A and B are shown apart, each in its own frame.
Chain A
């Protein structure tokens, strides 16, 4: 490297990045590429935590952070960018502090907002590379489409329980997310980590793979995960690799594209108001307790999984996990009112829809806010998890 370029790194940076500088694949030239790079991280949760920390440590010059959530105690098992003292703070403030502690040279740009079809293009266009750490379907399709429209690479990671996926979607060079999955699954068919759980280390591994891919894209070297889907099973400790191909019929990056601008991704993923199911009757925890105390004969059906039932339960509730609710519907007496509940009220609503679709005729009521509301309103001795 010539001297003129090396002058662009300060003495402090030279000692900080020395293990990069002596790597032939990085060197001063590569370190300066990192310093000039602008990377947008969407979400500062499980995947965003290792991503942000490694990219800051590596000397990525500008990191944009998008998040609107606050740190919750249940985040700390995996979101190692946040600490116990940060519980209750905005994630963006907590992440910023941690990243600047790791490397004060990094310029952090924060967006305390939800990424939407209205703001995504304006935010993303200011960056070279986008890394999606939110891992939910509406944001995944939004980020994919915005990146395709703007010609940006999109570093993908996804996790569930012990299983992870990673890839690099870059329509100019290979497949995009829609080439792999043209449409999302209907809501309810794929559980989230909030429902299904996730091993805390897993997002650390997948997020680190995303950080690795991001750094290679910045350096312009190595073999990025373009047109390759990496599958990881932490329980078996097995990595597999599948081939991806650009889909000529892809609605956003194919030859006859039909999508030319961002759409409403909540509706596209079946979560918007226009696709909502038939109105579901609800009851509050306080009202349910009052009716039980009045001696009303109510069956309480818990649709969570057995391991959640072991953590906390409402007295006299019967466990029928959501995945078995239709096949075991005979265990619910159609002549008695049934109140269904889960942790927060989403799965029990799905269970009610599934039972109604299957032809169940009894009265089904959803416990608003699930067992968390029961703990808050009725019995604080029921632990929140």
Chain B
């Protein structure tokens, strides 16, 4: 099943500027995995050395954080969307 993954601005430099990537996946984890296969430099920005999602990277299926669902096992169905929401902070240090 093909689902769109929305890429935030801060990570678009690693996806050739694309804001939306379609991947074949049945779970949130598979979707992120597919994404990092297509764009290998993304991997270190999304996963830590223990192969877990970094704590400042939130993944949503539709409008729910996967941490409050089944984590990377959260199922995707037709019409699901995956959104990566990293913490952003645009200002300089005050």
Contacts and interface: CB of A to CB of B under 8 A. Distances in A.
Contact of B94 (A67, A158, A160): A67
B91 A135 contact: yes
Interface string A232-250: 0100100011111100000
Given A136-B93, A163-B8, A181-B55, A190 B65 contact: no
B65 A134 contact: no
A34 interface: no
A215 interface: no
Contacts, number: 108
A181 B87 contact: yes
A192 B83 contact: no
B89 A192 contact: yes
B92 A158 contact: no
Contacts of A271: 93
A162 B60 contact: no
Contacts of B87: 137, 158, 180-181, 184-185, 190
Given A185-B56, A323-B14, A115 B91 contact: no
A67 B94 CA distance: 8
Contacts of B78: none
Contacts of A185: 54, 56, 86-87
A233 B6 CA distance: 11
Interface string A183-196: 11100011111101
B63 A242 contact: yes
Contacts of A140: 89
A351 to B, nearest CB: 14
Contact of B83 (A180, A236, A242): A242
Interface of B: 8-10, 13-14, 19, 41, 45, 54-56, 58, 60, 63-65, 68, 83, 85-94
30 contacts: A42-B94, A43-B91, A43-B94, A46-B91, A135-B89, A135-B91, A137-B87, A137-B89, A158-B89, A158-B90, A160-B88, A161-B9, A163-B8, A180-B87, A181-B87, A182-B55, A184-B56, A185-B86, A185-B87, A190-B86, A190-B87, A192-B89, A193-B91, A194-B92, A198-B90, A203-B90, A240-B63, A242-B63, A242-B64, A245-B68
Given A159-B90, A243-B65, 7 more contacts: A45-B91, A139-B94, A160-B88, A180-B87, A185-B54, A190-B88, A193-B90
